[in-house]
């Protein structure tokens, strides 16, 4: 009896809820599938309208997985696959016809449409990626009696141009060519291309102008090179030299301010430039000292305004002149005090 009761208890309180729970879960899943299917079908309609058949197919396949018993979906998938295959084939064949007729633009369009229908269409991808891009070489099958020089003469009209043939085919220069071997004969392009700017030639022009001390004419040549090759260290170096030499020339002419401007355009690490800047600054300091001393004289003679004028001149020449700064402040304060005393009197 006890055994019977325990079995009943087990069935009623454990197994029944378990099966009911599982049934509920199945219902929930069915409801979810239905919602997802509706969502996917809305999207599919849009894709089909825009002829995005690959996207439509993928969505139909998901719908098919969610509704494995739906025969309509199965049929739809099958029809769509057939349509995609048919369209891809049709456009690829059209592309081939255009390609053979050398109508490359039309051929490209047809191959692209093929891939729009079937992104895995290897032949269409091959045509677009490989056939449309110019080949960098020709193929040559070695004949009996061929040598690398002989082939170079045939293709490059120069038997001495054997090295490119050997290099690109991994051949030893002394190798005996086996008849039937297929060789890559690379197009020799640098022979026919012209350099937009011959850097070496321009550098020589710049060097020559520098030698002849035509610094102003050198700079545009160097700028042209640096515009083309901003990393050209030789041009950068010559540019520094030109500015440095211009600075030195102006220094000798006692045009210290212009000279300093030139030195400051030179790379600070350029040999001698730091010393030259110090040299010009020293000149300015000397000039400023002269104004400073004149100012002191005026100060002693109680010509305070004239003293300030001189010290200001000193600062214009050499802004770091500390004594001039200090005395200007003090004298201005003194002038104020004197003005006040005058006013009270």
Partner 1 sequence: MWLKANKINSLFKYLSLFCILLPVLTACAAFSSKRIYKDFVIVKAKSEDSLSSLAGEYLKDMSKGWVIAQFNGIKNITTGEKLIIPIKPFDRGRLRIYGLQTVPILTYHRFSRKKADKMVVTEASFDAQMKYLKENGYHVIKLDQLLDLLNLKYQAQKKSVVITIDGGWRSCHEIAFPILKKYGFQATLFIYTDFIGRKKAMSWEQVKEMSENGFDIQCHSKTHRNLARLHGDETLNDYVKALDREISLSTKQIKQKLDKQCKYFAYPFGETNSMVIEVLKKYGYHAAFTITRGSNPFFINNFMIKRSVIYGTFNLREFKKNLIVFTKADLK
Q: Which residues bind partner 1 (CB under 8 A)?
A: 6, 10, 14, 18, 21-22, 25, 28-29, 32, 35-36, 40, 50-52, 54-55, 58, 61-62, 65, 108-109, 112-113, 115-116, 119, 125, 128-129, 132-134, 136-137, 160-161, 163-164, 167-168, 184, 186-191, 193, 195, 199-200, 227-231, 233, 269
Q: In whole angstroms, how close is the CB of 176 to partner 1 at the nearest point? A: 21
Of the pair 87, 312, the CB lying nearest partner 1 is at 87
State how far the Cα of 141 lies from the Cα of 162, in Å rounded to an integer: 16
Look at strands 137-141 and 182-186 and give their pairing: antiparallel
For 165-276, where are the E strands, in sequence order? 182-186
Q: In whole angstroms, how close is the CB of 281 to partner 1 at the nearest point? A: 24
Q: Please say whether the dihedral angle defined by the alpha carbons of residues 236, 237, 242 and 244, taken in this order, is positive or negative.
A: positive
State how far the Cα of 311 lies from the Cα of 175, in Å rounded to an integer: 87
Place of tokens 């291309």: 193
Q: In whole angstroms, how close is the CB of 137 to partner 1 at the nearest point? A: 7
Place of tokens 């494995």: 68
Residue 270: DSSP 8-state? S
- Tokens read off for 123: 């032949």
Of the pair 107, 250, the CB lying nearest partner 1 is at 107
Q: In whole angstroms, how close is the CB of 11 to partner 1 at the nearest point? A: 11
- Tokens read off for 22: 């599982």
Q: In whole angstroms, how close is the CB of 320 to partner 1 at the nearest point? A: 24
Of the pair 68, 145, the CB lying nearest partner 1 is at 68
Whether the Cβ atoms of residue 92 and residue 110 lie closer than 8 Å to each other: yes
Of the pair 3, 337, the CB lying nearest partner 1 is at 3
Of the pair 118, 331, the CB lying nearest partner 1 is at 118
């Amino acid at each position: 009896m006890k055994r019977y009761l325990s079995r009943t208890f087990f069935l009623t309180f454990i197994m029944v809820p378990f099966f009911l729970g599982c049934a509920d879960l199945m219902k929930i899943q069915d409801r979810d599938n239905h919602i997802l299917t509706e969502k996917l079908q809305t999207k599919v309609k849009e894709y089909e309208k825009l002829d995005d058949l690959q996207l439509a197919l993928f969505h139909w396949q998901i719908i098919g997985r969610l509704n494995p018993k739906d025969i309509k979906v199965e049929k739809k998938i099958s029809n769509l696959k057939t349509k995609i295959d048919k369209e891809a084939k049709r456009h690829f064949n059209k592309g081939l016809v255009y390609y053979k007729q050398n109508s490359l633009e039309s051929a490209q369009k047809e191959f692209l449409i093929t891939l729009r229908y079937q992104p895995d269409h290897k032949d269409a991808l091959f045509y677009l990626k490989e056939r449309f891009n110019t080949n960098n070489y020709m193929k040559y099958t070695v004949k009996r009696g061929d040598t690398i020089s002989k082939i170079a003469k045939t293709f490059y009209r120069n038997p001495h141009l054997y090295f490119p043939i050997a290099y690109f085919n991994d051949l030893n220069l002394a190798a005996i060519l086996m008849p039937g071997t297929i060789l890559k004969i690379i197009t020799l392009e640098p022979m026919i291309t012209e350099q937009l700017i011959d850097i070496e030639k321009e550098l020589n022009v710049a060097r020559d102008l520098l030698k002849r001390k035509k610094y102003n004419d050198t700079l545009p040549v160097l700028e042209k090179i640096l515009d083309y090759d901003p990393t050209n260290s030789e041009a950068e170096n010559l540019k520094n030299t030109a500015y440095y030499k211009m600075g030195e020339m102006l220094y000798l002419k006692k045009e210290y301010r212009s000279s300093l401007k030139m030195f400051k355009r030179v790379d600070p690490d350029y040999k001698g430039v730091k010393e030259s800047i110090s040299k010009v600054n020293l000149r300015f300091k000397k000039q400023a000292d002269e104004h400073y001393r004149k100012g002191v004289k005026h100060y002693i003679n109680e010509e305070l305004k004239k003293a300030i004028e001189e010290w200001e001149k000193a600062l214009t020449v050499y802004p770091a002149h500390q004594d001039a700064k200090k005395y200007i402040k003090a004298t201005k304060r003194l002038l104020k005090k004197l003005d006040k005393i005058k006013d009270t009197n």
